[in-house]
Amino acid sequence: MSDLNTILFALNTLLFISIMVGLFVSWLREKLHDRDVRRRLKNLEGEMMTEETMTRVHSPALDALIGKKLPCLGNQGWIMLVDYLGDDSAIVQAARTSYGKGTKTVSEDEGLIRYLMRKRHTTPFEMCSLKLLVYVPMDAWRQWIRHRTAKINEYSTRYSLAIDEAAITNYKSWRLQSKRNKQGSSLPEGALSFPEAFDPEKASDYHRDAIGAGMTASEYLSVREHEFLKLAREIYEERIEFGIAREQARKDLPLSTFTLAYWKIDLHNLLHFLGLRRDAHAQKEIRDYAMVIGDQLVKPWVPYTWQAYLDYRENALYLTALDVMILQTVGYPSEAIVQARKLGWLELTKKGKLKRNRERTECEAKLERLNLPVPWRNDGEEA
The angle at the Cα of 142, spanning 141 to 147, to the nearest 5 degrees, equals 90
The pLDDT-based confidence of 105 (bands split at 50, 70, 90) is low
CA distance between the termini of the chain = 98
Question: What values do phi and psi take at 243, rounded to 5?
Answer: 85, 10
Alpha carbons 306 and 300: distance in angstroms, whole number:
9
Active site residues: 277
The pLDDT-based confidence of 380 (bands split at 50, 70, 90) is very low
User: In this predicted structure, what is the pLDDT of residue 102?
Assistant: 47
The angle at the Cα of 255, spanning 254 to 260, to the nearest 5 degrees, equals 115
The pLDDT-based confidence of 381 (bands split at 50, 70, 90) is very low
Q: Which amino acid is at 303?
A: P
User: In this predicted structure, what is the pLDDT of residue 379?
Assistant: 41
Q: Reduced to 3 states, what is the DSSP secondary structure of residue 226? A: helix
Is pLDDT of 32 > 90? no
Tens of pLDDT, residue by residue over 265-285, are 999 999 999 999 999 999 999
Helix (H) or strand (E) holding 10: helix 2-48
User: In this predicted structure, what is the pLDDT of residue 209?
Assistant: 80
What integer is the mean pLDDT of 179-200?
81
Q: Note the pTM of the prediction, 2 decimals.
A: 0.81
Across 29-43, 131-145, 230-244, 324-338, least confident range: 29-43
